[in-house]
Structure 1
Amino acid sequence: MSDSRRPAAPDPHDFLALDAELSDTERDVRDAVRGFASRELLPNVAEWFDAGTLPDPRGLARAFGDLGLLGMHLEGYGCGGSSAVAYGLACRELEAVDSGLRSFVSVQGSLAMAAIHKFGAEEQKGAWLPRMAAGEVVGCFGLTEPDSGSDPGSMRTRARRDGTDWVLDGTKMWITNGSVADVAVVWAATGEGIRGFVVPTDTPGFSANVIHRKLSLRASITSELVLEGVRLPADAVLPASKGLGAPLSCLNEARYGIVWGAVGAARACYEAALEYAATREQFGQPIGGFQLTQRKLADMVVDVNHAGMTALRIGRLKDRGDCHHNHVSFGKFANVAAAQRVARTARGVHGANGITLEYPVMRHMVNLETVATYEGTEEIHALSIGQAVTGISAFR
């Protein structure tokens, strides 16, 4: 017997009805973060971007903490213990406003807090994680160096033993939240291999310099960390952090957030273009009525929905414990490229208006240039996927 019921027309804002695949709890997280972002962040983000800073990062940290976003996917120690999909949805809604805001939450929870949670001693976890989850303490993650980006194993930062103490010397670069952080998780080469250290930022010899004149990720604080004879007690080392795999596992957590965040940036650009195409008139009709514009909108909605499906599938794998780091590489590689295509196309739909901060598309477009580079460049993730499908490493 045939079904005579006529399916509903697709929702332009959720074309493949992906939100129907979410649980009630996941929808609650989505709605809470989207509501907060719409009220508190979206009205201000263009001004922050124009100024090239976040005017009140500590207030923002406390607000994120009150919302339960900091380390929300971690268990215990004041953290929410949410599902991977719920955390991904939070990243999506934050990056729909601006990549810098998702980066703030990601660096705090998926890098600094995750490192302490995974590799720290109980005393370290108890001392830092509850305050970081509440937004009372801001953290940063020091891995990248001026001459060591895609090849972190070549880092020059060194930690040497001096009696029972450790002494750290080196420089870290492109560190989100570095100059406002209370604690830095710093990775250094030792005689025992690469180790992680919990470094209070008021330790003598530690300094952070803000990086200015950025053309991307401007609503975010980015810093250089300088360590000159930073003396730490023996218990500053993260005891379970041994080898390069430790910081890379934290990066994988942050990359997972990007898989979802890119969907938010793409969605924001597509929705801006859809609205603009419906209201901007040329030659006596809305530009959305022209075939060339409709083709652009079709390309964008396909990219947004493909990226959304990819994020949701990887999130479900992660919640089942079946998510390999190559899955995350697949997601970052595919979704960031999709978001970049959408942002560029949306910028074109807006014409000259697209280059102004009155519309979000150019801001997202330049932010995505940074998103494409950090937590592993497009090339690195292509090689990760290539190794997964061939069984042959082409990294060296």
Structure 2
Amino acid sequence: MAGVSLKCGDCGTLLKSVEEAQEHAELTKHSNFVESTEAVLNLESDLHTKRTGHTEFVDKTSEAAKPISLEAPKPKDDVEMDEAGDGSSSQQEEMVVPEVNQQLLAELEEMGFPKERAIRSLHFSGNSSLEAAANWIVEHENDPDIDQMPLVPVSSKKPEAPKPSLTPEEIKQKQQELREQLAKRKKRKKNEWKEKERRIRVGRELLEAKRIEEENERKRLLALRKAEKEEEQRAREKIRQKLEEDKAERRRKLGLPPDEPSAVKPSAPPVEEKKSFLPVRPATKAEQMRECLRTLKQNHKDDDAKVKTAFNTLLTFAKNVATNPNEEKFRKIRLTNANFQDRVGKLKGGIEFLELCGFEKIEGGEFLYLPRES
């Protein structure tokens, strides 16, 4: 039996003609097609059942099916050439750059847009006006092929659109409006990025303030406990001295000789009363740096090797700057560097120590930089 359909070897879809197979290949990227003896069913049973209520049908598709023609339809030009006796047909239509309004193209290039982007915007916006082309660029500026030269078949090449009937003053006004729109868009994106950085910085500052507050509270409690113990020790010493004095007074009233000097225990010197105080944040930079190192060691006390590596790395940074103050490379540290993050960046207190040394975050927090005057 002759073939009556084409079957897609990738998904099994039956197609009536070569045209349908070509459309299927363009949509699905499938390329494996074979001739099949199965007829493509042309079922309208559901619609007929809804209209008439009939439910029994007889399949006569195979009887009405005709052998499929495997020849693709020729373009009209090729048919005329074959009829003229040439016998040759183009396998692939030539692709050319679409024609656009040269005046609008020149104005877009004057505004700073690349030629490829300007031609693409004029072509896809209908080649109608400068504003439509600029709006198309704004809407499609993130397309991956925005700066690729568009190509169209020769047969679909559109004639150049008529020049806009705008006066030079109106054209300049439109250009100014477009420039203002682009400038506002860039400014809005820049403000959004600055706001994001500000929120991140505020969050880090809040976390650091909370850590310092908790550390100060812990120190305050330790100082209070120590003061209570000292106060209790002084109270015991006063009671002991009072008992010794009462004992000596009773022996004197009873007429008994006082205790032997060797037997009398020397009284402990009075303990000076110390005023309790609350610890405050270290006032000097050196004390703050020591506090950062103590925090780093305390938070990683179970990993002495990591603490030692962090201390050596911080010492190396400080030593390099101190011994080579004019070397630019020693005064700039990339925070995203994997080795830096593993040795110092991920450890709490490491970056704070470098900031106390004088390093400052620049370029959106990507680098630590030590100014020459520091």
Identify the TM-score tier after normalising by the shorter chain.
under 0.3
TM-score by length of 1: 0.20
Larger RCO, structure (CA 8 Å, separation 6 or more) = 1
Instruction: Select the structure that is richer in strand.
Output: 1
TM-score by length of 2: 0.21
